[in-house]
Amino acid sequence: MPEDLKVLVFDPGARGHVISDAYERSHRVRKIIVAPGNDFIGFYRHKEVVVDENCDLKNLDSMLAIAKKYRPDLIDVAQDDAIASGVGDILREHGFVVFCPSRVAAQIEWDKKWSREFMIRHRIPTPQFNAFSSTRIAERFVDEFYGENPYDARSDALYVKAAGLAEGKGALRATSYQEAVACIRRMSWFGEAGRTFLIERGLSGEEFSYTVMADGTGVYHAFKPAQDYKLALPFDEGDQTGGMGCIARTHVIEPLSRAEIEQELVIKALDGMVAEGRPYIGILYVGGMKVRDESVSSGYKPYCIEFNSRWGDPEAQVVLPGVSNYAELAIATVEGRLGQKVIIEDALYRVCLVGATRGYPRDYHAALGKRIYGLKEAINCPFVEIFGAGIKMEGRKFYTNGGRLFSVVGRGPDLLRAYERALTAMSRIYIEGNNLQWRTDIGWQDRDMLLRSL
Ligand code: GLY
């Protein structure tokens, strides 16, 4: 691997922005290409950054053409559809060095039925589930589950989940027979991804996100634990989104130790992948839950809600800015020598507030093409970074061009200061016609804990 690297990142959103930033911090990286990226990624960069919008992450030929055009030394496939397409394997066959799991290893994300069965095979704690491809049989199942009071909302929650990839929006929650039937019928909205779906028993507990980098030899490194907020509106209301905010690090995992989480959820998964002939090389994201369990000494047990074969978005935005040797870690991973490296990361807290277009994730078309004001003022706020997603530029002006628009990330020595800084920056931003939507309550559990301890 040369000393002045050219790195290509495949991702369209804020995750691609923050990953490209992480590569930029390496003295070994000279140039970064992001495809398809977005109009905000090229701003305020120290090194040469090219955004090539002529790339379709659902089209293998399109991605291969981009790789052949730029001939990068390292390719980071960061987006779920792209990873699931197997483009990593194809690029490797063409002689490129690629940082992402193989298609068969990534099945842990793109096939949720396979993934749950894998968890059962390797005794990874997981919610009870049933898989369906018939709406009628699924409806009979929920009828039996909710018993003789089908029209009363009960506290027992069920999750109806598309087995395929659905941009993070494929898990629907129900607490009554009627809601469950509506969720089952909505599986058809996800097309092929919802043809097979799971119905899972809801667990109660605190959710957390745990991300590791693994090199397939049994070695892995874990990043700071994070907490993601998936629902559209404050107080955890509204629809599932791709993620409306995040914090890292989080203390909601306590009293579980990181070692317990890793033993139950990470090591069993990585060992299981090796045992099944699919060594896992790349980023593994664990969507976990801390569940009360009196039978264990800490009183809690970690459960796996999902595995993803890539960075979470917005988890990447609160973890990666604190990491100063990402390129070196990625290279060591693809070369199978991650054991020679440690993660160099700061001890700061970060809060990410995602700015979305009003109406997201449902119908936000009326709010597209609207002018975004105040982004430059927000970037100039101290201890704040902004990562772009659905932003389009005309001249020097910014316009809305998608559901999730940008991630505002504040950092500080504690969560209160990080939150305050993100909030100050977000308050500078305005979208024509009052079309900015964001959540004010990101990180409330950790802020609550901190305030009570003062
Ligand atoms: N934030 C969760 C995900 O990216 O899937």
Report the nearest atom of ligand 1 relative to the CA of 310.
4
Q: Which residues make beta-bridge pairs with 409?
A: 352, 385
Cα(372)–Cα(350) distance, integer angstroms: 24
Cis peptide before 249 (omega within 30 of 0): yes
Instruction: Name, in order, each residue with C-beta under 8 angstroms of 112's C-beta and a sequence gap of 6 or more.
Output: 161, 162, 163, 164, 198, 306
Top mutation candidate among 18, 112, 228 for ligand 1, by most atoms within 8 Å of CB: 228
Give the pLDDT score at 155: 55
Cα(357)–Cα(364) distance, integer angstroms: 6
Name the token pair of 235: 């107080």
Residue whose CA lies nearest to ligand 1 atom number 2: 312
Residue whose CA lies nearest to ligand 1 atom number 4: 312
Cα(282)–Cα(278) distance, integer angstroms: 12
Cis peptide before 314 (omega within 30 of 0): yes
Binding site membership of 309 for ligand 1 (Cβ less than 6 Å): no
Instruction: Name, in order, each residue with C-beta under 8 angstroms of 15's C-beta and a sequence gap of 6 or more.
Output: 78, 79, 311, 312, 313, 314, 316, 317, 387
Binding site membership of 109 for ligand 1 (Cβ less than 6 Å): no
Cα(197)–Cα(184) distance, integer angstroms: 8
Q: Is-contact 81 58, C-beta < 8 A? A: yes
Residue 4 Cα, ligand 1 centroid: separation in angstroms? Answer: 32
Cα(195)–Cα(117) distance, integer angstroms: 18
Binding site membership of 13 for ligand 1 (Cβ less than 6 Å): no
Residue 243 Cα, ligand 1 centroid: separation in angstroms? Answer: 6
Q: Which residues make beta-bridge pairs with 2?
A: none
Q: What is the pTM of this model?
A: 0.95
Give the pLDDT score at 3: 85
Is the C-alpha dihedral spanning 191, 192, 195, 201 positive or negative?
A: negative
Q: Is-contact 126 303, C-beta < 8 A? A: yes
For residue 117, the Cα-to-chain-centroid distance in whole angstroms is 22
Cα(352)–Cα(18) distance, integer angstroms: 12
Task: Region of 279 please: left (phi>0), alpha (psi -120 to 50) or beta.
Answer: beta
Give the pLDDT score at 454: 87
One pLDDT digit (tens) per residue for the chain, 454 residues: 888 999 999 999 999 999 999 999 999 999 999 999 999 999 889 999 999 999 999 999 999 999 999 999 999 999 999 999 999 999 999 999 999 999 999 999 999 999 999 999 999 999 999 999 999 999 999 999 987 665 555 557 899 999 999 988 899 999 899 999 999 999 999 999 999 999 999 999 999 999 999 999 999 999 999 999 999 999 989 988 989 999 999 999 999 999 999 999 999 999 999 999 999 999 999 999 999 999 988 899 999 999 999 999 999 999 999 999 999 999 999 999 999 999 999 999 999 999 999 999 999 999 999 999 999 999 999 999 999 999 999 999 999 999 999 999 999 999 999 999 999 999 999 999 999 999 999 999 999 999 999 8
Residue 166 Cα, ligand 1 centroid: separation in angstroms? Answer: 11
Give the pLDDT score at 409: 98
Residue 168 Cα, ligand 1 centroid: separation in angstroms? Answer: 6
Give the pLDDT score at 120: 98
| 28 class by beta-carbon count within 10 Å (0-12 exposed, 13-18 middle, 19+ buried) | middle
Instruction: Name, in order, each residue with C-beta under 8 angstroms of 225's C-beta and a sequence gap of 6 or more.
Output: 208, 209, 210, 248, 249, 250, 253, 258, 261
**Which has the closest alpha carbon to 122: 275, 270, 272?**
272
| 95 class by beta-carbon count within 10 Å (0-12 exposed, 13-18 middle, 19+ buried) | exposed
Q: Is-contact 430 371, C-beta < 8 A? A: no
What letter represents residue 204's amino acid? S
Residue 153 Cα, ligand 1 centroid: separation in angstroms? Answer: 28
Give the pLDDT score at 151: 55
Element (H, E) at 145: helix 135-146
Binding site membership of 228 for ligand 1 (Cβ less than 6 Å): yes
Residue 297 Cα, ligand 1 centroid: separation in angstroms? Answer: 30
For tokens 């140039």, the residue is 31
Please write down the HEC assignment for all residues of 63-119: HHHHHHHHCCCEEEECCHHHHHHCHHHHHHHCCCCEECCCCCCCHHHHCHHHHHHHH
Instruction: Name, in order, each residue with C-beta under 8 angstroms of 90's C-beta and a sequence gap of 6 or more.
Output: 60, 64
